Amino acid sequence: MTLQERDKKHLWHPLTQHQLHPDALPIVRAEGALLYDEQGKSYIDGIASWYTAMYGHCHPQIIAKVQQQMTTLDHIVFSGFTHAPAIELSEQLIALLPDNQDKIFFSDNGSTANEVAIKMALQYHFNRGDQRTTIIAFEDGFHGDTFGAMSASGLSVYNGPFEDFFIDVQRIPTPTTANIETVKEQLQTLITTHRVAAFIYEPLVQGANAMHMFDGGLLEQLLQICQAHGVITIADEVMTGFGKTGKHFASEHLETQPDIISMSKALTAGFVPMGVTSCAGYIYDAFLDNSIGKAFFHAHTYSGTPIACAVALAGIELLQSDAIQLNIQRIIHSHQQFDTKVRQHPLVKSTRQLGVIYALDLAIDMDRYGNKRYEIFDHFMRQGIYLRPLGKTIYILPPYVITAQQLTLIYDAITALLDQL
Ligand SMILES: *Cc1c(COP(=O)(O)O)cnc(C)c1O
């Protein structure tokens, strides 16, 4: 039996209607920006495997650090014990994050990082004797698939079976120059009519919402309203973190800093899952008390596991290297040049870019997971390019180590698609 046949016996894949799409493609090896299937055919990983493997797959420098960690200390309970990799990672992250961030809390993935952020915000108010129960979020945002994170996600077309169990979330549109005054009024009204605990948002780019981008200055106005009313601001940087927007964190494009920041994905460079929720000192202080009841009772068995910390440390070292920083600038420039050529194409409705994130909308109507989307996907795969179109949006979010030649192959495949459509 082939790997593909064996896969079908017992595996249940995420986001997959197995009756329509029974075949998963076995990938046997990955290196740098390339994935290899069983026949040895290579695919350029144009989305860094969901924006995780930003320094390239199987990076030898990360492998060396992990190997070393594995032979020294594998795992310990992070309640009562501590260890050097976690301590060092907290120091490195705090140095990298916006100035107001002071404490680091570990969990397992992006959804749990947001779950922690939401629980932190709720308990922050609770501990101060101010019970607040409503969370504000953007329409069409995405924060993950656990219950709290899913409730905050506006992209809930596929959440039908669960909606009765959601926490209380009120939504506002992402701001534009045209709607900003209305959105500000909406936010003000929500804050006066509800007991609002927190506002959770993806700063500047909504990844799952087809890389929708919006203006930082407008977001800033919303954050200021929140902060004037004691509403905790939570920046979900799970997608945007670690260099993708051209700064280490998207929040750095703004002057108003969030109270809480959630991270995952590129944090552990595609090697192992890990989530981090950072917060300002005053959030942490609200949990200090002589009674245990005000402590934060949220734990995962693998919280702060040393191996994931070692990966994250190796990743941060790479992020700060001259080589990666130069690569980021090269990709930004390269996308800009491609954009000047492609944006005139009659089948391109609009294009947008922030840092190494580039997206274009096709001027045709398509369902998010419709047949046309799969045809386009196959077009790229046949040419050895892994892109994952979101409906009519084609986006590139390549690993920083992608070569100029590999990037050109992606651009050429997009141009060829436009000419064929
Ligand atoms: C991917 C993502 C999440 C969820 O992270 P998981 O690790 O898949 O649970 C949350 N927020 C944003 C912005 C994301 O891109």
pLDDT in tens, 328-368: 999 999 999 999 999 999 999 999 999 999 999 999 877 76
CB–CB of 265/233 below 8 Å?
A: no
pLDDT tens-place string over residues 57-76: 999 999 999 999 999 999 99
Distance CA 8, CA 327 (A): 39
158 Cα to the center of ligand 1, angstroms: 16
264 Cα to the center of ligand 1, angstroms: 7
Of 111, 237, 240, 397, which is best to mutate to test ligand 1, by the most ligand atoms within 8 angstroms of its C-beta? Answer: 111
140 Cα to the center of ligand 1, angstroms: 14
Residue with CA closest to ligand 1 atom 8: 110
Distance CA 372, CA 384 (A): 19
Distance CA 190, CA 171 (A): 9
Whether residue 319 is predicted with pLDDT greater than 90 in this model: the reply is: yes
112 Cα to the center of ligand 1, angstroms: 9
Ligand 1 atom at minimum distance from 144 CA: 4
7 Cβ partners below 8 Å, 6+ apart?
A: 24, 26
| Among 142-151, 230-239, 324-333, 369-378, the least confident range | 369-378
416 Cα to the center of ligand 1, angstroms: 31
- Give the pocket of ligand 1 (CB within 6 Å): 109-111, 114, 142-144, 202, 207, 236, 238-239, 264-265
For the chain, the helix, strand and coil percentages under 3-state DSSP, each to the nearest 5:
40, 20, 40
Ligand 1 atom at minimum distance from 145 CA: 9
Ligand 1 atom at minimum distance from 275 CA: 7
What pLDDT is attached to residue 160? 84
Of 142, 245, 354, which is best to mutate to test ligand 1, by the most ligand atoms within 8 angstroms of its C-beta? Answer: 142
110 Cα to the center of ligand 1, angstroms: 4
Contacts 24+ apart (CB under 8 A), 39-45: 41/384, 42/384, 43/381, 43/384, 43/385, 43/386, 44/384, 44/385, 44/386, 44/398, 44/402, 44/406, 44/409, 44/410, 45/386, 45/398, 45/399
14 Cα to the center of ligand 1, angstroms: 14
Of 265, 277, 357, which is best to mutate to test ligand 1, by the most ligand atoms within 8 angstroms of its C-beta? Answer: 265
Q: In the structure encoding, which two tokens stand for residue 211, read together?
A: 């890389």
241 Cα to the center of ligand 1, angstroms: 11
Question: In degrees to the nearest 10, what's the CA dihedral of 377, 382, 386, 389?
Answer: -10
Distance CA 350, CA 331 (A): 20
Give the type of residue at 162. Answer: F
47 Cα to the center of ligand 1, angstroms: 14
pLDDT tens-place string over residues 177-220: 999 999 999 999 999 999 999 999 999 999 999 999 999 999 99
Task: Tell me the average pLDDT of the chain.
Answer: 96
Q: With both helix axes pointing from N to C terminus, report the angle between 84-96 and 306-319 in degrees, rounded to the nearest 10.
A: 30
Give the type of residue at 38. Answer: E
User: What mean pLDDT is predicted for residues 269-288?
Assistant: 98
What pLDDT is attached to residue 156? 61
User: What mean pLDDT is predicted for residues 159-164?
Assistant: 88
Distance CA 190, CA 123 (A): 20
CB–CB of 189/225 below 8 Å?
A: no
CB–CB of 153/142 below 8 Å?
A: yes
% of the chain at pLDDT higher than 70:
99
Which CA distances in Å does 255 have to 97, 221, 411? 13, 10, 34
Ligand 1 atom at minimum distance from 202 CA: 13
Residue indicated by tokens 């593909």: 4
Ligand 1 atom at minimum distance from 236 CA: 13
Residue with CA closest to ligand 1 atom 11: 143
Burial of 358 (0-12, 13-18, 19+ CB in 10 A): buried
Of 264, 277, 388, which is best to mutate to test ligand 1, by the most ligand atoms within 8 angstroms of its C-beta? Answer: 264
Distance CA 290, CA 270 (A): 41
Ligand 1 atom at minimum distance from 112 CA: 9
